[in-house]
Amino acid sequence: MALMITDDCINCDVCEPECPNSAITQGAEIYEIDPASCTECVGHFDEPQCVSVCPVDCIITDPENEESNEELTEKYNRLTA
């Protein structure tokens, strides 16, 4: 699954620089994750880096963008080709 940022986001700016795919950007009100670029850090790290640094635990799996580990790996391969 791709990840998403909930309305609990406090715009602390710590997640954006941690994303190896540059999938996190500042939205109109809170940070947003582009599901087309989010691999949950598959191919880069053992766990999503944005989740590990978020002080308010507002980054969750996106139910609208469910993906298997294999699909995330394929996406990683496409993004890094």
**Number of domains present in the structure of the chain:** 1
* Contact yes or no for 50/15 (Cβ under 8 A): yes
Distance CA 53, CA 22 (A): 16
Range of the domain at 70: 3-80
pTM: 0.92
Q: How many other C-beta atoms are found inside a 10 Å radius of the C-beta of residue 56?
A: 11
Which CATH number fits the domain that encloses residue 63? 3.30.70.20
Model pLDDT for residues 16-74, shown as the tens digit of each residue: 999 999 999 999 999 999 999 999 999 999 999 999 999 999 999 999 999 999 999 99
